[in-house]
Amino acid sequence: MESRIGELAALGTAICWTVTALSFESAGRRIGSLVVNIVRLVMAAALFALYGWVVRGMAIPLDLPRTAWIWLGLSGLVGFVIGDLLLFQAFVDIGARVSMLIYASVPPLTAVLGLIVLDETLGVLGIAGMVLTVAGITIVVAKRTSGAHAPAPRKRARGVLLAFGGALGQAGGLILGRLGAGRTFDAFAATQIRVLAAIVGFSLVFTLSRRWRTVAPAIRDAGAMARVGLGAVFGPFLGVSLGLFAAQNSTAAVASTIMALVPVLIIAPAVILFRERVTVREIAGAIVAVAGVAMLFW
């Protein structure tokens, strides 16, 4: 089991991100997704500072070398800022279902980048498990959109490109994070640098779009802040740190494949909390995805 610590961390990441997705979805409906993004990062930065002070004796990981700061900073900008902004706009253009269907390309994109940048390869069983998992996720999130709800062709084309860009940002952010953190750096300290870079990036976005005036009213919404706080704990703090730890102790492709299970894991809480109906297609997709993940643990 110790040899599978990376895969277990990736599974823990997917569970954390499931909690985060539910929390941020609820908060985003009240205060907007862009505000949720920057507030969650500021909350996470405070958690990382507390962790660093208690565990490592320093609130900011100044002991990491300059090269690590550069790679991890780029990882935060590419993954947190560019990737998320592209994906959220894709949600607007083509909807969450189609966007997440395209977003399921993150594992193979990560595998390709991992081969090129990190010289990581997968065996036959690993490739089969990744393909099976991605197929299961695709079955879960696939849903035909037609009629009055279908976007215009130009808007749909833009949305597809944006969703693919978001997937590429997620894959690139993970690879850059591995380059910065290597195999040995503290995953929480490394993720703290990514979060600090992302705060700078989102601050620039807010300044250029003149959106700072929307932050103060959002902070006064206690219910939304409670949801964002919960999401910050399980998202940027625990989830992303576990994800980087998983990439340090497994191949980036395997880690990203297991982390992509969120659409499958979210089915049960959606049924229990929101009384959503589960289709036969979703159950079948979940079974296929779980079977693929099981192969990755062999």
pLDDT band at 144; cut points 50, 70, 90: low
What was the pLDDT predicted at 189? Answer: 95
Give the chain's end-to-end CA distance (angstroms, integer): 11
Compute the distance between CA of residue 132 and CA of residue 257 in angstroms, rounded to an integer: 10
- pLDDT tens, 154-178? 887 888 899 889 999 999 999 999 9
Return d(Cα 279, Cα 298) in angstroms, integer. Answer: 30
List of residues 6+ apart from 124 with CB closer than 8 A: none
| 259-277 confidence digits (pLDDT tens) | 888 888 888 887 787 677 7
The tally of domains found in the chain comes to 1
Residue 293 Cα to chain centre, angstroms: 18
- pTM assigned to the model: 0.85
The predicted pLDDT at position 142 comes to 74
pLDDT at 204 over 70: yes
Q: What does the pLDDT look like over 35-51, one tens digit per residue?
A: 888 899 999 999 999 99
Return all residues near 235 (Cβ < 8 A) that are at least 6 apart: 16, 17, 20, 23, 24, 40, 44
Nearest to 160 by CA among 84, 248, 89, 60: 89
Give the 3-state DSSP-derived string for the chain, with helices as H, strands as E and coil as C: CHHHHHHHHHHHHHHHHHHHHHHHHHHHHHHCHHHHHHHHHHHHHHHHHHHHHHHHCCCCCCCCCHHHHHHHHHHHHHHHHHHHHHHHHHHHHHCHHHHHHHHCCHHHHHHHHHHHHHCCCCCHHHHHHHHHHHHHHHHHHCCCCCHHHCCCHHHHHHHHHHHHHHHHHHHHHHHHHHHHHCCCCCHHHHHHHHHHHHHHHHHHHHHHHCCHHHHHHHHCCHHHHHHHHHHHHHHHHHHHHHHHHHHHHCCHHHHHHHHCCHHHHCHHHHHHHHCCCCCHHHHHHHHHHHHHHHHHCC
Domain of 70 in residue numbering reads as 2-296
Number of Cβ atoms within 10 Å of the Cβ of 68: 19
88-142 pLDDT, tens digit per residue, is 788 777 776 677 778 888 888 898 899 889 888 888 888 888 898 888 888 887 7
